[in-house]
Amino acid sequence: MLRVLDARPGLMLKDLATALGMTEPACTRMLDRAIEAGFAAKERHPDNGQAISITLTADGSRALQQVTNALAVRLRAVVRLAARTSGRCTP
């Protein structure tokens, strides 16, 4: 969710749910948790005062960067391990 909100700020709930391949109720529950954690915020949509747009907060952006960095470190470790062990396994 954080990655989608970072790439597409101001999404409406239905669009966020579609982007995540989720139902709107499931997306709402996940979004509520992200808002409680301070990672996302709801605002009135600038073009439609009745609609709500969803944005990533500064804390959400930092959390996304931390997770992205941690995953990159782990992926590099897996790649190094695979490179060292390649050819050792035979079918």
Answer whether residue 41 is part of any domain: yes
Average pLDDT, the chain: 90
* pLDDT > 90 fraction of the chain, expressed in percent and rounded: 68
Query: How many domains are there within the chain?
Result: 1
Q: Dihedral sign for Cα 44, 38, 29, 16, please.
A: positive
CATH of the domain at 70: 1.10.10.10
Q: Above pLDDT 70, what percent of the chain?
A: 95
pTM here is: 0.77
Coil vs helix vs strand at 67: helix
pLDDT at position 88 is: 60
Structural domain containing residue 52: 2-85
For 30-71, how does the pLDDT look when each residue is reduced to its tens digit (9 = 90+)? Answer: 999 999 999 999 988 777 778 889 999 999 999 999 999 999
Are the C-beta atoms of 42 and 35 separated by less than 8 Å? yes
Residue 90 belongs to a domain: no
Rounded Cα distance, 84 and 29, in Å = 43
